[in-house]
């Protein structure tokens, strides 16, 4: 009898434990179901709100004047929903017409120019790319546009440095240093006479031509001092090749590099213009583009040099080729 009651107690206790575990699982499952239902309801609500939004939302609208590549006016406003504002957007534009040293008329925003008593300076920088500032602000991953019934550009042009009502008579020009004639003569007094080769290179604010050197001698200007960079051309080189008749000839041409771009170029790139213009630097190379060597030969010739505006002079040179 005692054994019977002990077995009955054990079975009852085991059933109680099983029911307790079952209740716990049921409670946990019910809680997870409530959470899942809440997430579904929230998702449906967000979807309904997003569906009601316009396809395009823009908080900035850039407007450019047709008569000026420098004008960049930004109209900021609060985001709206495909609603056309029943009004006219008036944009006042003040522009300078400026005569540069070459006689060309350029257009500038008045804010780009700083006028002094006898001179003035104008500067404008444009940047584009993913890494540049001035992004359109995104709301909910969509861009919202502001629409106006009409847009009127109230443009005023003023002649800055020419005409009857000119504000100043100054004509801007880059300050280019004078060439050191004595140093130039010394630099070119002794050169290599090797056939089909580069015999001199100069970094200067001038470009050069030669008068009186033998046929085949030529000056070339490199774009970037002969260093690899974000260009598809490198320095010039001279080399010997055979033509279709197996005759040798000297060729002077640019070295072709594979296009190389700095990683930052894909994020933000900028270009700037100014008045007066910045002085230009040229990397000039003199080649003996012939198959004839001029060892132990002395030649007198003229060097013609010009700056970026075409201003220049000639210089008498006597060169001993070694």
For the chain, 322 residues long, give each residue's pLDDT as a single digit of tens: 444 444 444 444 444 444 455 565 666 666 667 676 666 556 555 544 444 433 332 323 333 333 344 444 334 444 444 445 567 888 889 999 999 999 999 999 999 999 999 999 999 988 877 666 543 333 334 445 566 778 888 899 999 999 998 999 999 999 999 999 999 999 999 999 999 999 999 999 999 999 999 999 999 998 654 444 443 445 888 999 987 778 899 999 887 654 445 555 556 778 899 999 999 999 999 999 999 999 899 999 999 999 999 999 999 999 999 9
Please, how many CA atoms are within 13 Å of residue 128, restricted to the half-sphere of its CB? 4
The answer, yes or no, to whether the previous bond of 91 is cis (omega within 30 of 0) is: no
CA–CA separation, 169 and 280 (whole Å): 25
Is the CB of residue 260 less than 8 Å from the CB of residue 229? Answer: yes
Report in angstroms the alpha-carbon separations of 210 from 53, 250, 304: 70, 19, 6
Is the CB of residue 248 less than 8 Å from the CB of residue 289? Answer: no
Length of the chain: 322
**Domain ranges across the chain:** 60-159, 181-321
């Amino acid at each position: 009898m005692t054994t019977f009651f002990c077995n009955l107690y054990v079975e009852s206790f085991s059933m109680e434990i099983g029911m307790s575990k079952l209740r716990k699982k049921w409670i946990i499952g019910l809680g997870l179901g409530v959470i899942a239902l809440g997430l579904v309801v929230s998702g449906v609500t967000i979807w309904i709100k997003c569906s009601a939004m316009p396809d395009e939302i823009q908080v900035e609208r850039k407007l450019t004047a047709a008569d000026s590549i420098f004008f960049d006016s930004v109209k900021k406003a609060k985001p709206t929903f495909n609603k056309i504002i029943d009004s006219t957007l008036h944009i006042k534009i003040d522009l300078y017409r400026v005569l540069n040293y070459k006689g060309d008329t350029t257009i500038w925003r008045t804010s780009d120019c700083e006028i002094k008593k006898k001179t003035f300076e104008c500067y404008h920088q444009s940047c584009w790319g993913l890494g540049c500032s001035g992004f359109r602000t995104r709301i909910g991953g969509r861009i919202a546009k502001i629409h106006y019934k009409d847009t009127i550009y109230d443009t005023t042009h003023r002649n800055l440095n020419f005409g009857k009502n000119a504000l100043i008579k100054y004509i801007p020009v880059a300050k280019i240093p004078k060439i050191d004639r004595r140093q130039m003569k010394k630099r070119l007094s002794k050169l290599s006479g090797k056939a089909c080769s580069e015999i001199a290179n100069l970094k200067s604010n001038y470009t050069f031509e030669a008068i009186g050197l033998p046929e085949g001698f030529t000056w070339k200007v490199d774009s970037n001092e002969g260093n690899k960079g974000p260009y598809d051309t490198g320095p010039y080189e001279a080399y010997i090749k055979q033509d279709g008749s197996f005759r040798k000839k000297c060729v002077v041409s640019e070295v072709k590099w594979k296009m190389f771009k700095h990683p930052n170029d894909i994020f933000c790139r900028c270009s700037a213009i100014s008045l007066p213009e910045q002085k230009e630097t040229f990397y000039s190379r003199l080649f003996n583009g012939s198959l004839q060597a001029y060892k132990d030969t002395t030649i007198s010739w003229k060097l013609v040099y010009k700056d970026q505006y075409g201003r220049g002079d000639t210089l008498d040179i006597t060169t001993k080729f070694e």
